[in-house]
Structure 1
Amino acid sequence: MKQYAVWFLCASVSLLPVAAMARPAPAPAAATAAEPTLPPLTESDSTFAENVSALNTFEMTIAKMATTQAKRPKLQEFAEKSLKMHTTNQTTLAAMTLKHGLELHKDMSPDEEQVANDLKTQNGGKFDRTYLDLEAQAASDALAMFQNEAESASDPELKAYASSTADTLQAHLKEAMKLGANKPSR
């Protein structure tokens, strides 16, 4: 019996390198999409996530511009905070939706692209005013979307995310108004 156990141990150890070579190498993490672990989002929740993703991309684009183009240092600081907030928001949302099998696009709408391109051409005080007004309007529009989603989301995690982000957006809007943004239209 002892001899059989020794033989089995030697045979199994000697086959380890062969077994390791027979297995395919795992694909790099970035190349494979994670399998959804939760059921798909409802159409309403998916639409909300896609719209927020586009808005985050727009907000990050104009905030990057403002970190260097804004004339007022306080506005540059505001833009840096906005950039961090929307980057974190985008990362959180993307991770959350991926669990449901939804990979978010990262493109702005054509209208947002046009607005961002127009902002690029401005400088000085005009840039500052336009940027602040854009921030206030975007925060106001987003706030309405997030409050609606916090009330009506089907997914509990998305509902909690919308609720907590609505509070952040409210503070962001107040800060933009304090810096001199015009009252957003609704």
Structure 2
Amino acid sequence: MSSLTSSKLNPDAAVSRHVIPAGEPWVGEVKAGQTVRLLDLEGNQAVDTLFYGVANPKERYDPQRTLRRQGNVYLTTGSVLYSNLGRPMLTIVADTCGRHDTLGGACAQESNTVRYALDKLHMHACRDNFLCGCLHDGRLAKGDIGANINFFMNVPVTPEGGLTFEDGISGAGKYVELRAEMDVIVLISNCPQLNNPCNGYNPTPAEVLIWD
């Protein structure tokens, strides 16, 4: 599988551009044939992302099918994201970071207390962002939140089969681009985590760009 691949798309030609503030959610649509770029503006920022079919939001990104078919737990250029109905949803067509996590999941208030300390319960988390995005979109509900992709996040698998959260391998201006194979809803939490190095302990903005 290829890895680092740059894009020829001109940001000035994008039909849509939106900066997601540090720690905030975003939800939008990408039509079949369009390309969406997730841009790490300042570096070392985790962008937790879920995908759903517009025609049927119960059709969603399926990590098990995706990882089994590509034989790799990380995503990069050439990776095809499959739905729970076994259909291609998106294909990664450019990637200047080189590896994206599929195993670490989304932070939640509950997991923050288990992993870090009871007094972390009040801290904002990705699951809260996903819930806010679902409410804003209107087609999605709490039960639609499943296992997500952590773009730009570095979660190595240890020899014993465990996971560790490490400093990101991304940097300012790095991006990943995906071509939509069907009309998709994109639900993003620009991760607000402050307890592990996935954001360098300092959440920063990210940008979404879409081209026809």
Coarse TM-score class (shorter-chain normalised): under 0.3
Structure with the larger RCO, 1 or 2 (CA within 8 Å, 6+ apart): 2
* Higher strand fraction (1 or 2): 2
Q: What is the TM-score when the length of structure 1 is the normalising length?
A: 0.28
Q: What is the TM-score when the length of structure 2 is the normalising length?
A: 0.25
* Higher helix fraction (1 or 2): 1
